[in-house]
Amino acid sequence: MAEAQRRVGLVLARASRVLGEEPFYHEFIEGLERVLTPTGVSVLVKVVTDREAENESYERWAEHKRVSGVILVDLSPDDDRVELVKRLELPAVVLGAPSTAFGLPTVWTDDTDYAREAIRFLADRGHRVVGQLSGPLSFVHTRLRRDGAQAEAETLGVSLIQAEGDYSYESGRAATVELLAGKPTAIVCDNDVMALAVLDTLREHDLAVPGDVSVVAWDDSGLCQLAVPALSAISHDVVRIGEIAAKAMLDAMAGEPPAVYQAPPAHIVARDSTT
C-alpha cells in the first residue's frame, strides 16, 4: 500500500461545540498518534453532524482509498456501520463492548461494572438518593452504564434518578435542574464537562458541594483537578486506551484475526467533591 494511503480514519458524529468541549477525544487521539506516527501512519479526523454523513465519509474514503482503516466509536445496538465497513473492505476497530462489534476487533471498557462501582462508592458514604446524568441513550455504552448503575442501586437500596445529556456543558445544566427535582444527595456524570455544569448549576441553586450534593465525574481529565471543588472521578487512562486502539488498528491492517483488547482498569479517585 502506498505511503500516502497509510492513514487511519476517525469520524466523530458530534456538534463541533460538543467535541470542542470534550477532553476525551483529544487524549484518545494523542494515544493513537503515539503509536501510529512512528510507524508512518497518520490519523485523519473528521467531524460530522449525523450518522448519515458519517457513513458517507466511509464510502468516499473507501472509494478514493483515502484511509487504510477506520476506528468506530459510539456504537448503537445493531449499528449499521459494522456491516458497512465490512462491505467496503475497510479494516476497522470498535471502541466499545464486544457485543456491538459482530466480528470486528474491539477495545473494551467494562462500563457496566464501573457504573456499579460509582454507585457503591456513594452508597458507602451514606447516599441513598443518587442522580445519574448520562450521555445519549442511543449509545450502547450509555445503556450499559445506566443498566449497571440501576442494578447496583437496586442491590444496595439506593434510589436512582436518571437524566440524559449529550456530553455538552449546556445539556449538563439542563439535566441537573431535572435531577434536582428528585432531591439527590449525589450526582454521577458521564463525562467531565457535564460534571462541571453540575457544579455551576448547584452553586446557582445555593447548594454546596459536597455539603449538600456530592459530584462524581467520568474519565478524569485535567478538568477534574482544576475544578472548584476538585472533582472525584472514575479515572480512565484515555491516552493508553488510544495506544491500545492504535495497536489493534495496526493488527487489523496487517490482516490479523479479530480480537478483544482490554482497556486498562478504571478506578475511582476521591477528591473534594464527595463526602
* Spans of all domains in the chain: 3-109+237-264, 111-235
Average pLDDT estimate for 74-103: 94
CA–CA dist 134, 194 (Å, integer): 9
CA–CA dist 100, 114 (Å, integer): 18
Q: What is the pLDDT of residue 2?
A: 40
What are 4-23's pLDDT values in tens digits? 459 999 999 876 555 556 78
Average pLDDT estimate for 157-167: 97
Average pLDDT estimate for 116-131: 98
**Helix, strand, or coil (residue 178):** helix
For the four alpha carbons of 56, 61, 63 and 64, in that order, the dihedral sign comes to positive
The angle subtended at Cα 12 by Cα 190 and Cα 252, nearest 5°, is 105
What are 176-231's pLDDT values in tens digits? 999 999 999 999 999 999 999 999 999 999 999 999 999 999 999 999 999 999 99
Lowest mean pLDDT among 102-106, 208-212, 270-274: 102-106
Same fold, 3-109+237-264 and 111-235: yes
Residue 142 binned pLDDT confidence (cut-offs 50, 70, 90): very high
Q: Which three cell numbers stand for residue 53?
A: 454523513
Please tell us whether the domain made up of 3-109+237-264 is placed in CATH 2.160.10.10: no
Q: 111-235 sits in which CATH class?
A: alpha beta
Pick from 268, 185, 231, 174: nearest CA to 23: 231
Q: What is the pLDDT of residue 92?
A: 98
